[in-house]
Structure 1
Amino acid sequence: MNKLANIGMMFLVGVVVTMSGCGKQTTPANSAPLVKTIVIGEEISENKHSFSGTVHGYFEAPLSFQVGGRIVERYVQSGQRVTAGEALFKLDSKDAEEQVNTAEGAVISAQAAYNLADSTLARYRSLHDIHAISDLAMDQTQSQYEVASAQLQQAQAALSRAQNNLDFTTLRANRDGVIGSTSYEVGQVVSAGMPVALMVDDSQKEVHISLTEKQYGEYSVGMPCTVTFWALPHVQVKGIIKEKAASPTAGIGTYDVKVSLEDCPTNVTIGMTAQVSIENKMNTNRIEVPLTAMAGQKEQPSVWIVKDGKVSLVAVKVGKYGENSIEIIEGLKQGDRIVIAGTNKLSDGEEVRI
C-alpha cells in the first residue's frame, strides 16, 4: 500500500509541476506589429498611366469609286507603297467608253449647227445694216444662233461628264503613301462611294488610344507622352496628345485620342502595337495612396498615420478611384507616413515596427 501511495504522490507532483510550467509564457523581445509604410510625396503615385494603342498614319482615308461597276483590274496589294496619281483599281469601262463616243458625236453635230448659225448671223447682220432684211428676220436669226450656241455648250458639258465618268472607272491614289488595306477583288461589283482601299500617309505617324469617361478629363491636348512598341522593345519615342474626340465611340463608351510621334524611326510601321505612358500633371498637389492603405468603414474612410513609432487612425475624405489607388482630398498632407500593409491588426496608439 505504501508503495502505491508513493507512486500516486509522485504522479500528482508531476502534474502540478507540468501545469505550473504551462502557465509560464515567454515574452518576445519586441512584440510590436511589423507594418509597411510610405511617405506621402516620396513614393511614385499613379499620376502616370499607360494605354495600349496602334500605330497609324497621320492621314488615313478610304478611297472609293465615283461610279459603280465590276472590277476588272487590281494593281496594288495591302502594304504596297504608291505615289499620287498611280492607278490602284479599274472597273469595266465599256459602257463609259460608249457614252464618250456618243457625246463626241453630239458635240460634232452641235458644233456644225453652231457654225452654220454663226455664219448666217454674220450675213444677216450685213444685210440688216443696209436695210435688205426686216428687223423680224434679224431677230429670228439671232435667236437661232443663241439656240445653237446653247446646244453646243450642253453637248460639250455632256462630253465632259462622259469623259469624267470614263476617268472615274480607274481609281487612283490621291497622295503618296501606303495602301493600308483593300476591300474588293477582281470580278466583284462595287457601288459608287463604297470604300475599296485605305490610303495611309505615313510620312508622319501617330498612335490611337482610348480613354474611359473617368480618364477623359484628366488628360488634355498638348500633354507629353512616352511611347514604346511591343515589337521594338529598345525603341522609345516622344509623343504629344494631338487630338481628343468630343464624343465617345458609339456602342463602346470610350473616347478616341490621337498621340503624334516626334522623330519616329522608320522601322516603326503602321499597325504596330504601342504603349503610351502619360504623366498627369494637371494637379501637382494631388495625393494618391494605395487602396491597401484604407482602413475604417465605408461611411468613414480612414488611414493609419505613423508618428514617433506609434499609429493613429485619421479620418480622410476620398476622391477618384484609380486601378490600384485612391485620391485623398482631405486628411493627409505631404510628408505624412502612412501604413499600406498590416492595417487590419492595429489599434490606436499602438507601437509599430517599420
Structure 2
Amino acid sequence: MRVLLPLLLSFIAAALVGCGDARSSVVIATPPPFVKTEPVKVSAASSLGLSGIVRARTESPLAFQVGGRITARKVDAGKAVAAGDVLFELDRRDLEQAVRAAEATLSAAQSAFDAANADLIRHRQLVVKHFVSAQALQLTEDAVRQASGRRDAAHAHLNQARNALGYGRLRAPADGVLMDVSGEVGQVVAAGQGVAVLAQSGKREVEVYFPERVVPPATGEVLLDEVGLALTLREKAGAVDPLSRTLRARYTLDGPSDKLMLGSVVRARFRNEAATSEVFSVPLAAISERGTGPRIWRFSDGQVRSVPVSILALDTDQAQVSGPLRAGDHVVALGTHLLTENMRARELAR
C-alpha cells in the first residue's frame, strides 16, 4: 500500500499538468469584420453626363525664333491682342551687329565680283588679239563664277541676319486672347522656348475625357443657363491615356459661345450609347481606385471580391457604371480601402 500511494499521486499530478497545457494551447479565433453593403440597381439613365473644359480651336504656344535676353514685355495674361501686335522684345544689339557684318561681307563679295568681271572683259579683248591663251580666258571665267557664288551667299546671309533682327520682336500671329504669359524682362531664352500661349479667335470647343470603354458619341450638348448648345465631335485621341485610362475628345460648339470663358468647366450631356450591356447604379462610396482602374467590391458567400467597372456618370451620391454585374448583387458601400481580395467578411444587417 505504501508503494502504490506515491505512484497514484504522481499519476494525478501528471494528469493535472497535461490539462493545463491543453488549455494554454487554445487559440481564440477573431470573427470576420462587418461590411455595409448595398444592392446593385439597374440604372434608367438614357444620357451620359460628363464635365468638359472650354478650349479655343487653336491654342498656339509662342516663342522667339532666336535666343537672347528679354528687354521688354508689353502684355499680360488675359489681354486681347490683334495680329501683328508686339508682345516681347529681345536685346537687339548683337542682332544689329550681325546685320552690319553681313552687309560688309556682301559689299566685299560684290567688289570681288566686279573686279573678276572687269578682268574677264579685258581677257576677252586680249584673246581676240592673241595676247593671251584660251586657257587663261577660261580661268578668268571660272573666277567670275566663283565670285558670283560668293556674292550670292553673302546676300543670303544678309537676308538671314535681317530676318533674325526682325525675330527680336515677338508679334502675335493672329487675333486672340493670351491665356498664359511666362516670359519676364531680364530672362534669357533660347530659340523655341515658350513665353506665352495664345488662344486664337474663332469657334470654341469643349474637351471631354470619356471612360476607356466608352466610344465618344458624334453629337451632344452643353447646358448653359438652362439652354442646350449643340456639340459636334471634331476629333478624338487615337489611344487611351495610360495614367487616367480615359479617352480625350474635342467637340465643336455650334452656336454663340461668347458667354463661355476659356478654361471654364461645363456640364456636357451625351446620348448613352457606350454601354453594350446594362448600366448599373451603385453608391458613390463603393467606387475603389488603387491605380488599376475603377473597381467595386462584391460581397458573396461570406467573401469580398473586386470587380472592374467603367464609370459612365457621377452624381452627388450615386455612380452609373457598366461591368460584369447583375441587378441585386451586394456591393460594399463603405470602407473599400480596407478590403483585400477574397477577404472574409460578415454582412451588416440593413
Please indicate, yes or no, whether the TM-score normalized by the shorter chain is above 0.5.
yes
CA deviation after TM superposition for structure 1 residue 73, in Å: 1.0
Q: Deviations over 1:27-72 (max 9, x none)?
A: xxxxxxxxxxx9x9xxx73341111122111011201111111111
1:164 aligns with 2:163: yes
The letter of the residue matching 2:223 is T
1:201 aligns with 2:207: no
Identity of aligned residues (%): 29
- The equivalent of 1:92 in structure 2 is 91
Q: TM-score, normalised by structure 2?
A: 0.67
Q: Deviations over 1:223-256 (max 9, x none)?
A: 1111135xxx345311122211112345433322
Task: Mark the CA change 1:290 to 1:106 in structure 2 (over 3 Å): closer, same or farther.
Answer: closer
The letter of the residue matching 1:257 is A
- The equivalent of 2:345 in structure 1 is none
- The equivalent of 1:187 in structure 2 is 186
Task: Mark the CA change 1:55 to 1:289 in structure 2 (over 3 Å): closer, same or farther.
Answer: closer
- The equivalent of 2:216 in structure 1 is 219
CA deviation after TM superposition for structure 1 residue 265, in Å: 3.1
Does the aligned pair in 1 maintain the 2:213–2:274 contact within 8 Å? Answer: no
1:240 aligns with 2:237: no
- Which secondary structure state, in structure 2, belongs to the residue aligned with residue 214 of structure 1? coil
The letter of the residue matching 1:281 is E
Q: Deviations over 1:153-175 (max 9, x none)?
A: 12112211211211111111122
Task: Mark the CA change 1:71 to 1:321 in structure 2 (over 3 Å): closer, same or farther.
Answer: closer
User: d(CA) in 2 for partners of 1:84 and 1:172?
Assistant: 7
1:268 aligns with 2:260: yes
User: d(CA) in 1 for partners of 2:311 and 2:123?
Assistant: 92
CA deviation after TM superposition for structure 1 residue 96, in Å: 0.6
Q: Deviations over 1:272-308 (max 9, x none)?
A: 221111112367x86445459xxx9859xxxxxxxxx
CA deviation after TM superposition for structure 1 residue 339, in Å: 9.1
Does the aligned pair in 1 maintain the 2:216–2:249 contact within 8 Å? Answer: no
User: Matches of residues 79-158 of structure 1 in structure 2 within 5 Å?
Assistant: 79-158=78-157
CA deviation after TM superposition for structure 1 residue 101, in Å: 0.6
Does the aligned pair in 1 maintain the 2:236–2:247 contact within 8 Å? Answer: yes
Does the aligned pair in 2 maintain the 1:72–1:92 contact within 8 Å? Answer: yes
Does the aligned pair in 2 maintain the 1:56–1:202 contact within 8 Å? Answer: no
User: d(CA) in 2 for partners of 1:247 and 1:116?
Assistant: 65
User: d(CA) in 1 for partners of 2:132 and 2:209?
Assistant: 82
Q: How many residues align?
A: 265
- The equivalent of 1:62 in structure 2 is 61
Does the aligned pair in 2 maintain the 1:287–1:329 contact within 8 Å? Answer: no
CA deviation after TM superposition for structure 1 residue 322, in Å: 5.2
Task: Mark the CA change 1:88 to 1:297 in structure 2 (over 3 Å): closer, same or farther.
Answer: closer
User: d(CA) in 2 for partners of 1:164 and 1:135?
Assistant: 44
Does the aligned pair in 2 maintain the 1:178–1:200 contact within 8 Å? Answer: yes
Q: Which entry has the higher C-alpha Rg, 1 or 2? A: 1
Task: Mark the CA change 1:115 to 1:328 in structure 2 (over 3 Å): closer, same or farther.
Answer: closer
Unaligned runs of 5+ in 2: 1-40, 284-297, 302-308, 314-318, 330-350
User: Matches of residues 316-335 of structure 1 in structure 2 within 5 Å?
Assistant: 324-325=319-320
Unaligned runs of 5+ in 1: 1-37, 300-318, 332-337, 341-354
User: d(CA) in 1 for partners of 2:89 and 2:310?
Assistant: 56
CA deviation after TM superposition for structure 1 residue 125, in Å: 2.1
User: RMSD of the alignment, in Å?
Assistant: 3.2
1:258 aligns with 2:250: yes
Task: Mark the CA change 1:320 to 1:175 in structure 2 (over 3 Å): closer, same or farther.
Answer: closer
Q: Deviations over 1:83-139 (max 9, x none)?
A: 222211111011010110111111111111111211221232233244332112102
1:52 aligns with 2:47: no
Does the aligned pair in 2 maintain the 1:239–1:260 contact within 8 Å? Answer: yes
Task: Mark the CA change 1:327 to 1:100 in structure 2 (over 3 Å): closer, same or farther.
Answer: closer
